[in-house]
Amino acid sequence: MSVGMIDTSRIQAMVAQLKATAASTSPINESPLQAKQVTGASEFHSVLKTSLDSVNQMQKQSQLLAQRFEMGDSSVSLSDAMISLQKSSIALQQTVQVRNKLVSAYQEIMAMGV
């Protein structure tokens, strides 16, 4: 199932892969709570990196498509180039908003008294 630009089947497959990887690696001499925290951090890191790589790839593809149109490639239409550029722009804006929320959450946590 695909919702807009988001392919939920790929997300579900990635989550299943992350869970399988986490289940297969069990840290030695750590409590279950510590192992869970390490796994959660690595899952977050993987998801974040995958997301950033995806946005970067989308930006590169849209720029290449726009360049091909500018150079007169007849197989690329103006509408295709513009739609691709808009999709990559929206993906970048979404990434910036997620970054802003993460920074805000980090600042809020750092301001907490222990």
Q: What is the mean pLDDT of residues 91-108?
A: 92
Q: Residue 28 sits in which domain range? A: 2-111
Q: Which of 57, 58, 21, 55 has the alpha carbon at shortest distance from 40?
A: 21
pLDDT band for position 64 (cuts 50, 70, 90): very high
The phi, psi pair for 2, rounded to 5°, reads: -120, 125
Q: What is the pTM of this model?
A: 0.58
pLDDT of 114 reads 72
- Residue 53, token pair as written in the block: 């790589």
**Residue 84 near residue 60 (C-beta atoms within 8 A):** no
- CA quadruple 47, 53, 59, 61: dihedral, nearest 10: -120
CA 96 to chain centre: 11
Report the number of distinct structural domains present in the chain: 1
- Rounded to whole angstroms, how far apart are CA atoms 99 and 105? 10
Q: Which ranges in 1-114 belong to alpha helices (H)?
A: 8-24, 32-70, 78-111
pLDDT of 65 reads 94
Who wins on pLDDT, 76 or 14? 76
